[in-house]
Structure 1
Amino acid sequence: MTFRWRLTLTYALLLALTLLVAGGASYAGLRHTLYAALDAGLRADAVSTARLEARPDLEPAPQVAASLDAMNRQQPVRVTVFSVTGREVDRGPSRVGFVPRTGATQVGGERVYMLRVGAGWVQASVSDAAVRASLHAFLWQELLGVPPLLLLSLAVGYLLADRALRPVDQVSDLAARIAAHGQPGERVPEAQGADELARLTRTINAMLARLDEQLTHERLFAHASAHELRTPISVIRAATSLALEGERTPDEYRAALAQVNEVSADMGTLTARLLALARSARPAGNGDVNLADVALLVSELHGEDARARGVKVQVTADDAATRGDFDALVMAAGNLLQNALRYTPRGSVVRVQSGVRGGDAHLTVQDAGPGIPEGDVPRLVRPFQRGERTAQNADSSSGAGLGLALVQAVMTAHGGQLHLESAPLSGLRAELRLPPRR
């Protein structure tokens, strides 16, 4: 059974129970009202007769009394006066006999009201056939009206369930198509409004957009990786093939092996950075981190490189508490500092700062290099992408274009942001922004 029918039948069952309870309550209320009105009329007749019996001066002559008794027997309401012992003394005869019980009661098809007076009892009785007929008609109206109402509710309930679950069907069909073809480019038609299903369709579309973006990046990453690795592999094969073509002198073999060793070292570095990029999307830890410690550590780790390049590193380490993977954040900040040292002219200063600004923890690396055009920023955070300033700095040619991609991946995994701002006279300002520690 489909979820639509389960939902519809559940709704119909609840409606049937509601109608049953409401119908029972209505029937009970109508019965109580009708019998209460009947009892009130009988009580009024009994009280009126009791008042007449209490006044002997109003007692009619025997001939008149006989006529009144005959008239009483022809009325729907039968009034009878009983002695204390239950013997009929006036009016009558009673249709139900003596009932020694004060108040209203039911005797067969008669509704009886007994009133106790000083000299005995006054009984008023009437047939309740009219009340029972009214209740019977009301019950049949309810029984005949419920089935059509239930059928109508089933149809309306199914239509509502079908309309409500249509976005779920669309999501299911789309997921099946993506599973079959592996192309998450399609989107679910977004439901209007702000209810749960509208949020579901928007969330699914956002997830698919993110998935499509990730798959696109992965395809580009795979293609770029193959391209980057193809060149050193070709160099190694060419060097070894040339060395094996004929007899070579020991110096020629050493030259070939040196070339292979150099290219292999570059391949090892590239492979390590590729592995780091793959791991950066899933930080190993999520502990308390102070970006001031990160700034101090990366300046120390790259201090020797800075001195060799003739560049001064100036550190301003103010507290900036956040949460994350300390090693991954050190790697990200280290990449920024390494890039800054690579592109900063000899004798210049690279500034590393940490602190809190605008409620976020930040770590900033400011170099004095040529900067990058603003339009190149989105491209440079993707793997194997290099900017124009690479050509302006001979020492930068060894880069594989993975540094900023690594930083971007680490920031995405930490819920942070990487901001790059370039100015013609002040170089590139790279800033890591992370949520503060709560």
Structure 2
Amino acid sequence: MDIRKKITFNYVALSTFSTSLLCVIVFFLFRENNRYHFLKRLDDRAKIVASIHFQKDPEKIKYYKALKKDGLEELIEEEEFVLKINSQNSFDYNTKLNLPNEFYTNILSTGKDFFEVDNKYYLGQIFEEDHQKYIVIVGARDRKGRDTTIYIVKIMLFGGIGFVFLAFFLGRFLAKRVINPVARITKEVKRISASNLHNRLPEVRNSDEISDLTNTFNNMLDRLETSFEIQANFINNASHELKTPITTIIAESEIMLLKEREVSEYVQSLENIYSQASRLGNLTESLLKLTQTGYDGKKQVSDIARIDELLMDVKSDLDKIFPDNRVSIKLNFAPKDSNLFLLPCNKPLLELAINNIITNGVKYSDNNEVFVMLSATNEMIKISINDIGIGIPPEDIPHLYEPFFRGKIAAKYIGYGLGLPLASKIIRMHDGELQVQSEQNKGTIVTIVFKKTNIKNFNVQS
């Protein structure tokens, strides 16, 4: 069942239920109102019957009889009974009355009661005259009330059936009004494919859920288009970066195989092949690590490391690669509690990320000073890496996290454009934040922040 039919069905069901409930309430209220007014008429008759029975003045008796005959509406199958109550609280029973004992008991205890049988009402009431009590019972059939009730029931029945049909057509109309915008969006979305991701859904000016849905789809298409463009650039750049060393290796090998050469030439050729193969290996390893960071972060986090010790390990590795590096590590606001430096993490990956960032600082500052500052509080762990290098042009900063992207002023330095994107993904995997501030020809400040509220969410095996 599609949504349009569901909306119609639910609307008809709710309308039928609410109408039926309203009809039942109206029916009971109408019936109770009829009963109340009919019993009120019986009560008036009982008082007149008592007045006629107790009255000794012939003129007044004549007056009450005339009032009963001409002043009150005639009732159908009207009956009147006056029963004398004895001293033992018993009374003279009339055989014409076929009423339950409970009816008489209630009259004696409360002074008044009524009883209904087959749409005929009996009202009994106690009257007293000259210290003598009597039970006056008046009975009549409420045929008019019954006929009116049947008429009302017929109106509600046929009106209810008509309303159900009306609700069905109104439900279809309402469902169509509600679903049409969604159907239109579905139709437009089906037209969009990988070849025309530039298309967008027509904007809806109303501030409603349909407008939110349209904007959400358009925002998603923006992200998809950007992702496809990045993916295309990634493939092109990766193909180029992989093809260059492979082409060099093949060309070098072909040249060496053309004829016999001196040993020194073979050595030089092998050195070139080794250099290109090493470059190819490093590039492949970087691509693999970049892919690994796409896995579930919770599965990656398995260690608890002290961030200050991790920085010292990174510095030790840098000393082996760049013996003359001028990297200095400084603790700002060193806490008394060393446990504040503890960070749940995947230590090898996080070490790789920080190593990449510091290495960039060393490389792009031409081995100038690089300051690494660490601070830890109850709220966060913060690492700041400040170099005095070539800086980054403002137009290049939005593209820093795109794989293989390299700015124009960085072209003279050896690299693949994978270090910072890889570091960014690893830090995000640890629920950290990476911020880059740079000014061309003055230097760059890279800030890494791990908030303790995020750290608590890690699934750590200590």
Partner of 1:285: 300
Letter in 1 for 2:2: T
Greater displacement, 213-222 / 105-114 = 105-114
Amino acid at match of 2:392: I
Residue by residue, what CA displacement relative to the aligned partner does 1:252-272 show, whole Å, maximum 9, x if unpaired?
333333322221111111111
- C-alpha change, 1:66 and 1:326, in structure 2 (3 Å) is closer
Q: 1:109 to 1:225 in 2, by over 3 A?
A: closer
Tell me the equivalent position of 1:228: 241
Whole-Å Cα distance in 2 between the matches of residues 404 and 433 of structure 1? 16
Aligned twin of 1:374: 394
Q: In the alignment, which residue of structure 2 is the partner of 1:409?
A: 425
Q: Shift of the alpha carbon at 1:141?
A: 1.9
Residue equivalent to 1:258: 271
One-letter identity of the residue aligned with 1:405: P
- Counterpart CA distance in 1 for 2:381 and 2:257 is 58
User: Following TM superposition, by how much is the alpha carbon of 1:234 offset from its aligned partner in structure 2, in angstroms?
Assistant: 1.4
Q: Which residue in the other structure is 2:348 paired with? A: 327
Paired with 1:175 and 1:321, the residues of 2 have a C-alpha distance of: 48
Q: What amino acid sits opposite 2:417 in the alignment?
A: G
Letter in 2 for 1:145: G
Equivalent in 74, 77, 92 of residue 76 of structure 1: 74
1:350 paired residue number? 370
In the alignment, does 2:125 pair up with 1:115?
A: yes
- What is the CA-CA distance between 1:425 and the residue it aligns to? 6.9
Given residue 58 of structure 1, which amino acid in structure 2 is its aligned partner?
A: D
* Contact 1:99-1:114 at 8 Å conserved across structures: no
Instruction: After TM superposition, give the deviation of residue 227 of structure 1 in Å.
Output: 0.9
Match of 1:384 among 395, 401, 404: 404
Q: Answer yes or no: is 1:3 the counterpart of 2:27.
A: no
Contact 1:294 1:333 in 2 (8 A): no
* Residues 343 and 221 of structure 1: CA distance in aligned 2, closer, same or farther (over 3 Å): same
Question: Matched residues in 2 for 1:10 and 1:224: separation?
Answer: 56
Paired residue type of 2:137: Q
Query: Deviation string for 1:342-367 (max 9, x for gaps)?
Result: 13345x42111123699654322111
Write the distance in 2 (CA, Å) between the matches of 1:133 and 1:186: 69
Question: What amino acid is aligned across from residue 226 of structure 1 in structure 2?
Answer: S
Distance (Å, rounded) in 1 between the aligned partners of 2:397 and 2:60: 123
Q: Which moved more, 1:364-373 or 1:105-114?
A: 105-114
Q: CA 1:120–1:358 in 2, change beyond 3 Å: closer, same or farther?
A: closer
Q: Which residue of 2 aligns with 1:92?
A: none
Contact residue 366 and residue 427 of structure 1 kept, 8 A: yes
Question: What CA deviation, in whole Å up to 9, does each residue of 1:295-341 have, x standing for no partner?
Answer: 333223213334x2342423336556766544333222111111111
User: Is 1:314 equivalent to 2:329 in the alignment?
Assistant: yes
Deviation at 1:7, TM superposition (A): 2.4
- Which residue among 444, 454, 460 is the counterpart of 1:428? 444
Deviations 1:141-161 (A, max 9, x none): 212222332233233333333
Measure, in 1, the Cα distance between the counterparts of 2:68 and 2:276: 133
Distance 1:321 1:133, change over 3 A: farther
Q: Find the aligned partners of 2:42 and 2:57 in 1 and give their Cα distance.
A: 22
From the superposition, tell whether residues 16 and 69 of structure 1 become closer, same or farther in structure 2 (CA, over 3 Å): closer
Match of 2:460 in 1: none
SS of equivalent to 1:309: coil
Q: Offset at 1:294?
A: 3.9
Tell me how far 1:85 sits from its aligned partner.
3.4
Matching of residue 40 in structure 1 with residue 55 in structure 2: no
Q: 1:70 Cα shift?
A: 11
1:354–1:363 contact (8 Å) kept in structure 2: yes
Shift of residue 22, structure 1, vs aligned partner = 1.6
User: Given residue 39 of structure 2, which amino acid in structure 1 is its aligned partner?
Assistant: D
Match of 1:339 in 2: 360
Preserved contact between residue 340 and residue 369 of structure 1 (Cα < 8 Å) = yes
User: 2:328, 2:382 → 1: CA distance?
Assistant: 18
Matched with 1:91 is none
3-state SS of the aligned residue for 1:418?
A: strand
Which residue of structure 2 lines up, in the alignment, with residue 106 of structure 1?
116
Q: Contact 1:314–1:349 at 8 Å: present in 2 too?
A: no
1:76 partner letter: E
Stretches of structure 1 lacking an aligned partner (at least 5 in a row): 89-95
- Structure 2: how far apart are the matches of 1:254 and 1:108? 122
How many residue pairs get aligned? The number is: 421
Deviation at residue 412 of structure 1 after TM alignment: 4.5
Distance in 2 separating the partners of 1:322 and 1:162: 56
Distance apart, 1:32 and its partner CA: 0.7
Structure 1 residue 374: Cα displacement: 2.1
Alignment check: 8 A CA contact 1:167 1:201 kept? no
Q: How far apart in 1 are the matches of 2:403 and 2:137? A: 105
Identity of aligned residues (%): 22
Structure 2 counterpart of 1:269: 282
* RMSD between aligned residues: 3.6
Q: Distance in 2 between matches of 1:186 and 1:82?
A: 94
Tell me which of 257, 260, 266 is aligned to 1:244: 257
For 1:294 and 1:160, how far apart are their aligned partners in 2?
64
User: 2-side partners of 1:4 and 1:321: how far apart?
Assistant: 56
- 1:247 Cα offset (Å): 3.2
TM-score, length-scaled by structure 2: 0.78
Q: CA deviation at 1:279?
A: 2.1
CA distance in 1, matches of 2:8, 2:265: 85
- Residue range with higher mean Cα deviation, 23-32 or 272-281: 272-281
Task: Tell me the secondary structure at the aligned position of residue 377 of structure 1.
Answer: helix
The residue number in structure 1 matching 2:314 is: 298
**Residue 220 (structure 1) shift:** 0.8
